[in-house]
Structure 1
Amino acid sequence: MSYIQQGTKIYRRTSFSFFAAGFNTFAILYCAQPLMLEFTKEFNISPTTASLSLSITTIALAISMLIFGSLSEVWGRKPVMVYSMLVASGLCVLTAFSPNFHILLVFRTLVGITLAGLPSVAMAYLGEEIEPKSLGSAMGLYISGNAIGAVAGRVISGTLSDFFGWHIAIAGIGIISLVATLIFWYSLPPSQNFSSRKLEIGKLGKSLIDHLKDPGLVCLYGMGFLLLGSNVALFNYIGYVLTAKPYSLSQTIVSWIFIILIIGMFSSVLTGKLVDRHGKQKILILNLIITLIG
């Protein structure tokens, strides 16, 4: 097998392309979060109902990831990721033209389904193509793209909505994501170590059940659920508090609160390097301790 080695031009291209991919995915996913207050006002709905604009996308993405991972075994890694990003970006633009909240939820559900093609395949591609000793750093750069995308999606959409309304805000994120898709398409090298397989639904079901029987994996699933769930819940509703009295902040100022998540860009790269040096378990435990202290 021919692996991509750290320090080479192709490694930099691959890392940059996945940075763009992570940006694309999380900008589209989280662009609705700072707009929930606007949805509440325009569609006369409760904050809980408005939060469905993010929750339903996340649920659709989570379920669809189980399917896209298997489809990539048949169709190939890069094609699944590229078409996923391209369709999701197009749907994001169409979401801006939603005449009511029900149609908006339909588009956001479709966005979640199509977005799943990137995160479900990205780690598999990196694991197959990057040399093992550099894998942690490569994944760290991909995750840093996720962090930047999550921040930029929220800040840009929140700021645009304050000046031009939520329609322009979502359309703007969709256009930016289309550009990120083209960068990914052009920069990512085709798979060299991938071998196509037949799609076997039976094996997929058995594999999922086997994963749930592994206590270590169940613990990781639980940590992901609790950590990300608490993070998203906090930021879903903090805008309602900060735009009301006694804070009375503008939507633009509130959207910039998400900049705190930029720390994830640096910590993910650092964590990847530490994993390469000290192993996964030690660094995972260290990060959990830091989280609990916070």
Structure 2
Amino acid sequence: MLSSVLSILAAFSPSFSLLLVIRALQGIVLAGFPAIAMVYVNEEFHPKFMGRVMGIYVGGSALGGLTGRLVVGWLTEQFSWHVALGTMGVIGILISLWFWHNLPDSHHFSPKRTNWRRLGSSLLRNLKDPALICLYGIGFLLMGGFVTLYNYIGYPLMAPPYDLSQTSVGLIFIVYLVGTFSSAWMGQLADRFRRSTVLWYGIGIMLLGAIVTINQHLVVKIIGVALFTFGFFGSHSVVSSWVGKQAHRYKTQAMSLYLLFYYLGSSVMGTSGGLFWSRFGWDGVISMIGTMLMLALLLTFLLEHGKRGPSISAKH
């Protein structure tokens, strides 16, 4: 709700510096929401359906990302960015009110008193769990690769021989739709089979998609992006539910740390991808992404065959 209000305020921002301040505040306000949402899913739904429900949540976030980009892009082109931000703020308020009214109360949450010392202790305990460390690393690498691909795919598409417009390149986000399907589907598979096996396939599909984007044919390149996106959202749903399953006591802190590494990957690797693009072109970007995905596969192997924490069941 507060983020939506800030979005409306940003629409009336008289200066760029104030706009940056408001957007930074939005980031702070929104930072805790995904962790709380994921913990809610882990606490309120039966473990048998954990992967499926987490997949639906991740799919919803993919659909929201697609809708937001397309709506904001269209409103900005037709009117202005002020109208776009204001409209999204109003929509956000309406959805927040609906969400607040319809979300069932938590039945499995027990409030606990906390302080900085206890918070630090819980974070350290999660960081001492080898399985969680592997999951955090996988989240870092997957999100880093995903953001890197989407950050720089526009440059080769706007250059010869394609010469696509900025608007046309923006439409590539439509392939997010495959992510809404793959996250729910692979999350459901993770409930039925070994999580590590499903994750192997998800990362493998990402790697295949990344390699396919090297092809110079436009349609084939877009198919590669779609495969990559399919694998990413499916893998993200599996890893997210796995973190909640592994963190048997400090779930909120565990999910917060996962998201910290997840978005740290987008910042660090997404920025680093620019160095590979400027020096080696698209092949260099894909080489970087491929290396990250191979490391993610290695961490998945260690997660499956290494020492496991007490809360990982035998099927994992």
Structure 1 contact 159–251 (Cα < 8 Å) conserved: no
Partner of 1:92: 7
**Aligned with 2:188 (options 270, 273, 276):** 273
Aligned-partner Cα distance in 2 for 1:185–1:252: 35
Which string of whole-angstrom CA distances, capped at 9 and with x for unpartnered residues, describes residues 29-79 of structure 1? xxxxxxxxxxxxxxxxxxxxxxxxxxxxxxxxxxxxxxxxxxxxxxxxxxx
Q: What TM-score comes out, normalization by structure 1 length?
A: 0.65
Aligned-partner Cα distance in 2 for 1:104–1:220: 35
Counterpart check, 1:282 vs 2:190: no
Q: For residues 241 and 285 of structure 1, do their structure 2 counterparts lie closer, same or farther at Cα, with a shift above 3 Å needed? A: closer
Structure 1 contact 162–251 (Cα < 8 Å) conserved: no
Aligned-partner Cα distance in 2 for 1:214–1:279: 20
Aligned-partner Cα distance in 2 for 1:245–1:102: 36
Aligned-partner Cα distance in 2 for 1:243–1:292: 24
Structure 1 contact 147–264 (Cα < 8 Å) conserved: yes
Partner of 2:36: 121
Runs of 4+ in structure 1 off by over 6 angstroms are none
AA matched with 2:191: D
**What is the aligned-residue RMSD (CA, Å)?**
2.1
Gaps of 5+ in 2: 210-316
Percent of aligned positions that are identical: 48
How many pairs does the alignment contain? 209
Counterpart check, 1:293 vs 2:172: no
Aligned-partner Cα distance in 1 for 2:143–2:198: 18
**Aligned with 1:105 (options 2, 20, 41):** 20
Shift of 1:230: 2.9
Shift of 1:152: 0.8
Q: For residues 142 and 261 of structure 1, do their structure 2 counterparts lie closer, same or farther at Cα, with a shift above 3 Å needed? A: same
Counterpart check, 1:181 vs 2:181: no
Shift of 1:248: 5.2
2:172 partner SS? helix
The residue correspondences of 1:202-213 to structure 2 (distance < 5 A) are 202-213=117-128
Q: For residues 288 and 244 of structure 1, do their structure 2 counterparts lie closer, same or farther at Cα, with a shift above 3 Å needed? A: closer
Shift of 1:255: 2.4
Aligned-partner Cα distance in 2 for 1:224–1:87: 28
The residue correspondences of 1:29-48 to structure 2 (distance < 5 A) are none
Structure 1 contact 148–265 (Cα < 8 Å) conserved: yes
Aligned-partner Cα distance in 2 for 1:240–1:164: 26
**Aligned with 2:173 (options 258, 267, 283):** 258
AA matched with 1:252: T
Shift of 1:265: 0.3
AA matched with 2:96: T
Which string of whole-angstrom CA distances, capped at 9 and with x for unpartnered residues, describes residues 171-224 of structure 1? 222222222212211221111122111122212112222222223222222222
Partner of 1:132: 47
Aligned-partner Cα distance in 1 for 2:160–2:73: 19
Shift of 1:231: 2.2
Shift of 1:136: 1.7
